A and B are shown apart, each in its own frame.
Chain A
Amino acid sequence: EAQVTQNPRYLITVTGKKLTVTCSQNMNHEYMSWYRQDPGLGLRQIYYSMNVEVTDKGDVPEGYKVSRKEKRNFPLILESPSPNQTSLYFCASSSTLVSEQYFGPGTRLTVT
């Protein structure tokens, strides 16, 4: 089954404790992206990657890091999480920049 998986689905952590949210796709897609969704703000893109070792900033990259060492994986790293990073996070992938994006199920992150 074609899918994008994210782990964990729910995470509660404390300020400053480094964390990683994993994202994996099994569709051999070149393009992957991370978004955060906040009430009243819609989805905002954090980072995207057009291929292995090629990443670029989206609208709200501050406080986040990503890496693309393998085509299927695109982890999101929060080196020192803060409460304003409490949000719902989505990973997505697509075969090209402009084709349909397949979204993961979302990760609900709470930083206290």
Chain B
Amino acid sequence: AQTVTQSQPEMSVQEAETVTLSCTYDTSESDYYLFWYKQPPSRQMILVIRQEAYKQQNATENRFSVNFQKAAKSFSLKISDSQLGDAAMYFCAGTLIPGSQGNLIFGKGTKLSVKP
């Protein structure tokens, strides 16, 4: 079955420090997309970063970067120089279902707290 697992329900980081959020997934697909979304208390869903499975190079967006290990089916998010505004729920998601790329599978989320 296609699943996305976020093994850390909650994480905490000191302001200006670095934190890594874990995500593993399961799929029989060879070509797929992976995403990290952020959901602040406003509940708005915001795309943080996207990775295409056929690209070996890890995606980066300013202070956000991923460690994509295709063989291990791992897709962790690293947040550098953490800011108070980074506090939110973070969801890992992927287009993992064979023949049904429209079906986006989400993990259960990691709640990130940032301490001043």
Contacts and interface: CB of A to CB of B under 8 A. Distances in A.
Interface of A: 31, 33, 35, 40-45, 48, 50, 56, 58-59, 88, 90, 92, 97-98, 100-101, 103, 105-106
B108 A88 contact: no
Contacts of B52: 98
B59 interface: no
A57 B11 CA distance: 33
Interface residues of B, number: 22
Contact of A97 (B95, B106, B109): B95
Contact of B108 (A33, A40, A56, A106): A40
Contacts of B47: 100-101
Contacts of B102: 31, 33, 48, 50, 56, 97
Contacts of B101: 97-98
Interface of B: 33, 35, 43-47, 50, 52, 91, 93, 95, 100-109
Nearest to B47: A100
Contact of A105 (B35, B44, B91): B44
Closest 10 CB pairs of A and B: A103-B45, A42-B108, A43-B106, A98-B33, A42-B106, A48-B102, A97-B101, A100-B47, A106-B43, A97-B102
A88 B103 contact: no
A98 B95 contact: yes
A105 B104 contact: no
B33 to A, nearest CB: 4
Contacts of B93: 43
Contacts of B33: 98
B109 to A, nearest CB: 5
B94 to A, nearest CB: 10
Nearest to B45: A103
8 contacts: A42-B108, A43-B45, A43-B106, A44-B106, A50-B102, A97-B102, A101-B45, A105-B44
A97 B32 CA distance: 11
Contacts of B91: 42-43
A43 B91 CA distance: 9
